[in-house]
């Protein structure tokens, strides 16, 4: 490996399952023996025989163990409070029991504090991670109010990007006699509130839940808000849910316990993934889904835990694999593929679930010579080492009064160690996490419940018209204003509780930077170095200025600089301490195209150091060119979030966007479509 | 959790920068010195000195005016300017606590106050043929600290209660002129006993009394102690107003 990025060679792999058919034996599992693979920048850079491995900076010898891709759990309900073990006990004992089902969990979840819920989510994520899950989806669905569902989605976003709004999980008690009213809430206020927080929408379409017409209405409304679709289908009885999912182009139809031939054929002929949840059937002693028929027909199958407090309090993907093999007729290889690449397909992710070149280096080292041991030794803790892409669960304080249950039987202890590997990325904790942020000035609410997160090395563009709440959001992150509500975490530090410590990790470029006119550039750099604990000599300060072409100006005052030079100085000052997170408030305003391009290049280099960047801008060109993701806000609320091209794709057919587009839809069309054409301020 | 940089390091960087700003703003130092030296010059005769209560009082007036100029025209206007232009806001988004940002400015200004006081006292003593002892010079430093604090606190109150830099500048000039006239004409008795009394207990009058007492220790008595207390009161009241109402951003 010749790149400047540190690389790690994972070698002496007894059996390597890549799930990349272009590698190894050419099977779907892309299997190699006596293999090695190189990891660089958190991604797989090379795969091949161990004796042909390239030189790397560090080396991990796994001593002949099997290595598989990290599990992708595409169906979980982790945000809940309470437990229903009595219901489980009664059900399996054959005793009649009506403990309340979902409604009971809804009541407990509504009654729980956010901190209690966070504590529960963190415990379950740790259990899943310990069992080898490296990517997971999390659904809401246990509060069934606009505010509550939004709260659950925010909690889910703290642990994954794959967040699903499941407001249509059940009819809440207050709407027991008003289905139409709840449907109106779902497709109106609740969707409005939840769509910006979720990537997916799901409906429990089954007897006793939502019928086909209702499901269609909710899913179509969600689709117009840019959400991808998923369906809980045919778990309790046969119905038309599977075909509806296929018709609407859902990414996944889940459960599928009761299928007829038409359903199987529909799934096989579509891109909708059949996500099977044998944990639910195991825990409810029900028939298993016809996995064999689905596979034989050509459908894409995924396996997931369905972790929830009622029907499948399972946090072990290894158990799910064992059930799929023992009870559903899958081969060990098919089950492993379904639990990895199948799950990735169900989430429309291309770079997880496999270990081909370019994939995220999310892998598990097993305490076994072959992957088949996952099914062969049910109940054994085989995952000895993993590299996870799920962020670390938030460090929730102990909540002894939380109405919560202990970890599910069979799960690893939450504190089970997971050993990060060499220089590879062990976890992707967010550099910035903003949760439910509310900022107000008197009666005026400038920021109303915004959630944001930035991963290391990621650039997030915050877009919005004048007065949308961008600068107020930045001000709250910087500690200049005290939010009325919410959490801001910078590099794991609670910025509201420890503002100075958090600011020490921030590099800031304000919209209107200003320095004392009496100081020279070198003195300014030395001053700010000192404020961040970096003692710079006069020569070192001049050297820093030289990096941006200002070395010769070091003895001048900043007022004598051009606009572009002032921006460069601001960037030097913001970066004087190598921050984890760079906040740039309209950094290119007033710059000519050359200066703008140069600044973009510098921002890109900052990103390459692993710092996250949050930038506000009015330039859609800038957002599209520079940002990995953009978040569009207006009136203090988050309207949409995602990579620029994904937003364009998502809102291409949105009526509001189509109405303003001239030709091919651009990010600017999406922006104006969502925020309106009226002039502001 | 690793901590923010040490306060000592941050404060050191701030004080160094603020001293540099003061040094480079030589004009304000010259203006701050001109008025007291001019007073010393025009009263450099027995008649003028006697009218104003003697050489010790003349030096006290000169120092008090110098400190008032620094506090109202130097400190307050600089803080207001930096607030208007965003210099303070830029410092606030660093790990440095707010008290360190303001404390460093006060500290740098206090150093300048001490230097100016010593220069004025030394020049005044030479012109009036006085021979203060080393102990008296040390007491001058103490008095300068107190006197400087009075006018810095008033300056803080002005910059706290008035939001824009231009308005702070105007209010500072008006206040300075008012204090000068109150000190000059009130203390001379030409405005009558009431104004003389008001003048004596005004900030300028109190600082002047303290200086005169320090330079003529034989005359130190209850009046001087009361002046010290009054100075402390001015610091407490105006300083509290200034801190309570201070805003980091201009309107």
Q: How would you classify the pairing of strands A506-509 and A485-490? A: unpaired
CB contact (8 A) between residue B5 and residue A533: yes
User: Residue A424's pLDDT is what?
Assistant: 26
Long-range own/partner contacts, residues A655-662 (CB < 8 A, 24 or more apart): A655/A224
User: Residue A526's pLDDT is what?
Assistant: 95
DSSP H/E element including A92: helix A85-93
Apex CA A154: angle with CA A149 and CA A160, to 5°? 120
User: Residue A401's pLDDT is what?
Assistant: 34
| Closest Cβ opposite residue A510 in set B20, B90, B95 | B90
Q: If you average pLDDT over residues B141-162, what whole number do you get?
A: 91
Residues of chain B whose beta carbon is less than 8 angstroms from a beta carbon of chain A are 1-6, 9-10, 12-14, 16-17, 20-21, 24-25, 82, 85-87, 89-97, 248
Residue B218 contacts by C-beta under 8 Å, 6 or more apart in sequence? none
Of B217 and A203, which is predicted with more confidence?
Answer: A203
User: Residue B47's pLDDT is what?
Assistant: 54
DSSP H/E element including B244: helix B222-245
User: Which positions in chain A touch B14 (Cβ < 8 Å)?
Assistant: 527, 530-531
Report pLDDT digits (tens) over B66-84.
Answer: 888 888 888 999 999 999 9
Q: If you average pLDDT over residues B146-167, what whole number do you get?
A: 91
Q: How would you classify the pairing of strands A58-61 and A43-49? A: unpaired
CB contact (8 A) between residue B14 and residue A479: no
Please count the other Cβ atoms lying within 10 Å of the Cβ belonging to residue A95: 8
Segments of chain A scoring below 50 in pLDDT: 2, 4, 388-428
Would you call A489 helix, strand, or coil by DSSP?
A: strand
Residue A89 contacts by C-beta under 8 Å, 6 or more apart in sequence? none
> DSSP readout, A661-680?
--SS--HHHHHHHHH-S---
Residue A367 contacts by C-beta under 8 Å, 6 or more apart in sequence? A65, A380, A381, A382, A383, A384
Please give the Cα distance from B72 to B203 (Å, whole number). Answer: 12
Mean pLDDT of chain B: 86
In chain A, the largest separation of any two C-alpha atoms, in whole Å, equals 85
CB contact (8 A) between residue A523 and residue B20: yes
Please give the Cα distance from B7 to B10 (Å, whole number). Answer: 5
Q: Which structure tokens are listed for A79?
A: 């945000």
Strand partners of residue A7: A40
DSSP label of A315: -
- Residue of chain B whose alpha carbon sits nearest to that of A582: B93
Nearest to A575 by CA among A551, A603, A546: A603
Q: How would you classify the pairing of strands A459-463 and A383-386? A: unpaired
User: Residue A413's pLDDT is what?
Assistant: 26
| Closest Cβ opposite residue B85 in set A514, A527, A533 | A514
DSSP label of A490: E
Burial of B56 by CB count in 10 Å (0-12 exposed, 13-18 middle, 19+ buried)? buried
- Distance from the Cα of B166 to chain A's closest Cα (Å) equals 17
B24 pLDDT tier (thresholds 50, 70, 90)? confident
Best mutation target, B13, B85, B248, B249, to test chain A (most A CBs within 10 A): B13
Sign of torsion over alpha carbons A134, A451, A77, A275: negative
| Closest Cβ opposite residue B9 in set A479, A519, A530 | A530
Radius of gyration of chain A (CA): 26
Would you call B156 helix, strand, or coil by DSSP?
A: helix
- Residue of chain B whose alpha carbon sits nearest to that of A521: B17
Q: Does the pLDDT of residue B49 top 60, yes or no?
A: no
| Closest Cβ opposite residue B87 in set A479, A516, A532 | A516
Best mutation target, A495, A497, A530, A583, to test chain B (most B CBs within 10 A): A530
The size of the A-B interface in CB pairs under 8 A is 93
| Closest Cβ opposite residue A480 in set B5, B24, B93 | B93
User: Residue A8's pLDDT is what?
Assistant: 84
Please give the Cα distance from A516 to B21 (Å, whole number). Answer: 8
| Closest Cβ opposite residue A501 in set B1, B87, B92 | B1
B216 pLDDT tier (thresholds 50, 70, 90)? confident
List alpha helices for A410-505, DSSP H.
470-478, 499-503
């Amino acid at each position: 490996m010749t790149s400047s990025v540190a690389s790690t060679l994972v070698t002496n792999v007894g059996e390597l399952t890549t799930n990349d058919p272009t590698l190894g034996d050419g099977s779907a599992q892309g299997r190699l023996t006596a293999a090695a693979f190189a990891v660089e920048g958190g991604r797989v850079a090379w795969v091949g025989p161990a004796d042909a491995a390239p030189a790397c900076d560090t080396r991990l010898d796994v001593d002949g163990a099997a290595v598989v891709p990290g599990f992708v759990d595409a169906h979980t309900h982790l945000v809940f409070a309470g437990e229903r073990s009595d219901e489980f006990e009664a059900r399996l004992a054959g005793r009649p029991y009506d403990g309340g089902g979902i409604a009971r969990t809804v009541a407990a979840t509504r009654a729980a504090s956010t901190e209690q819920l966070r504590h529960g989510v963190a415990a379950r994520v740790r259990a899943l991670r310990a069992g080898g899950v490296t990517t997971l989806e999390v659904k809401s669905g246990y509060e069934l109010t606009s505010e509550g569902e939004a709260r659950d989605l925010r909690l889910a976003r703290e642990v994954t990007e794959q967040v699903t709004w499941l407001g249509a999980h059940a009819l809440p008690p207050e709407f027991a006699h008003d289905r139409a009213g709840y449907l109106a809430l779902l497709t109106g206020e609740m969707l409005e509130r939840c769509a910006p927080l979720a990537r997916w929408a799901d409906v429990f379409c089954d007897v006793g839940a939502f019928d086909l017409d209702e499901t269609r209405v909710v899913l179509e409304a969600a689709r117009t808000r840019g959400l991808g679709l998923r369906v809980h289908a045919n778990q309790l009885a046969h119905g038309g849910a599977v075909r509806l999912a296929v018709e609407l182009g859902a990414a996944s139809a889940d459960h599928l316990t009761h299928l007829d031939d038409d359903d199987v054929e529909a799934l096989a002929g579509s891109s909708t993934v059949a996500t099977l949840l044998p944990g639910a059937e195991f825990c409810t002693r029900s028939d298993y889904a016809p996995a064999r028929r689905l596979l034989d027909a050509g459908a894409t199958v995924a396996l997931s835990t369905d972790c929830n407090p009622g029907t499948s309090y399972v946090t072990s993907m290894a158990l799910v694999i064992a059930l799929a093999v023992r009870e559903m007729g899958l081969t060990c290889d098919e089950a492993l593929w379904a639990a990895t690449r199948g799950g990735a397909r169900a989430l429309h992710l291309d770079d997880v679930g496999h270990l081909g070149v370019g994939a995220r280096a999310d892998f598990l080292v097993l305490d076994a010579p072959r992957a088949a041991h996952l099914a062969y030794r049910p109940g054994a803790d085989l995952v000895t080492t993993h590299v996870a892409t799920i962020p670390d669960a938030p460090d929730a304080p102990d909540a002894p009064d939380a109405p919560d249950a202990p970890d599910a039987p069979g799960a690893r202890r939450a504190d089970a160690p997971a050993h990060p590997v060499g220089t590879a990325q062990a976890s992707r904790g967010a550099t910035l996490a903003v949760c439910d942020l509310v900022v107000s000035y008197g009666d005026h609410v400038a920021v109303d419940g915004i959630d944001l997160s930035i991963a290391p090395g990621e650039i997030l563009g915050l877009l919005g018209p004048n007065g949308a709440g961008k600068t107020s959001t930045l001000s709250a992150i910087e500690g200049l204003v005290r939010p009325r509500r919410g959490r801001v975490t910078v590099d794991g530090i609670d910025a509201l509780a420890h503002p100075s410590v958090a600011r020490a990790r921030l590099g800031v470029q304000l919209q209107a930077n200003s320095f004392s006119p009496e100081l020279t550039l070198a003195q300014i750099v030395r001053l700010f170095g000192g404020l961040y604990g970096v003692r710079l000599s006069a020569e070192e300060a001049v050297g820093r200025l030289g990096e941006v072409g200002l070395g010769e100006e070091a003895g001048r005052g900043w007022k004598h600089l051009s606009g572009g030079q002032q921006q460069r100085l601001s960037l030097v000052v913001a970066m004087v301490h190598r921050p984890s997170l760079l906040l740039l408030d309209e950094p290119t305003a007033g710059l000519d195209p050359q200066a703008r391009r140069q600044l973009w290049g510098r921002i890109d280099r900052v990103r390459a150091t692993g710092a996250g960047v949050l930038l506000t801008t009015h330039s859609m060109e800038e957002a599209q060119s520079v940002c990995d993701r953009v978040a569009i806000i207006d009136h203090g609320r988050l309207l949409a979030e995602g990579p620029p091209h994904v937003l364009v794709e998502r809102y291409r057919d949105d009526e509001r966007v189509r109405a303003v587009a001239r030709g091919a839809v651009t990010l600017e069309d999406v922006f104006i479509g969502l925020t309106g054409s009226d002039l502001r301020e | 959790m690793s901590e923010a940089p040490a306060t000592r390091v941050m404060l050191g960087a701030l004080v160094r920068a603020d001293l540099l700003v003061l040094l480079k703003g030589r004009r304000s130092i010259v203006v701050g010195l001109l008025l007291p030296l001019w007073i010393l010059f025009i009263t450099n005769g027995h008649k003028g000195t006697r009218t104003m209560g003697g050489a010790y009082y003349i030096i006290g007036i000169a120092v008090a005016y110098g400190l008032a100029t620094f506090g109202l025209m130097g400190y307050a206007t600089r803080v207001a300017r930096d607030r208007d232009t965003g210099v303070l806001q830029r410092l606030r988004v660093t790990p440095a606590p707010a008290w360190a940002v303001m404390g460093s400015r006060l500290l740098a200004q206090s150093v300048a106050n001490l230097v100016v006081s010593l220069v004025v006292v030394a020049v005044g003593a030479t012109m009036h043929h006085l021979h203060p002892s080393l102990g008296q010079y040390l007491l001058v430093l103490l008095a300068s600290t107190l006197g400087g604090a009075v006018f810095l606190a008033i300056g803080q109150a002005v910059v706290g209660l008035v939001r824009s830099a231009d308005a702070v500048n105007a209010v500072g000039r008006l206040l300075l002129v008012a204090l000068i006239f109150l000190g000059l004409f009130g203390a001379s008795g030409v405005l009558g006993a009431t104004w003389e009394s008001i003048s004596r207990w005004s900030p300028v009058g109190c600082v002047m009394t303290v200086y005169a007492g320090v330079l003529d220790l034989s005359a130190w008595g209850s009046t001087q102690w009361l002046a010290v207390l009054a100075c402390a009161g001015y610091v407490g009241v105006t300083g509290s107003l200034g801190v309570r109402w201070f805003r980091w951003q201009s309107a």
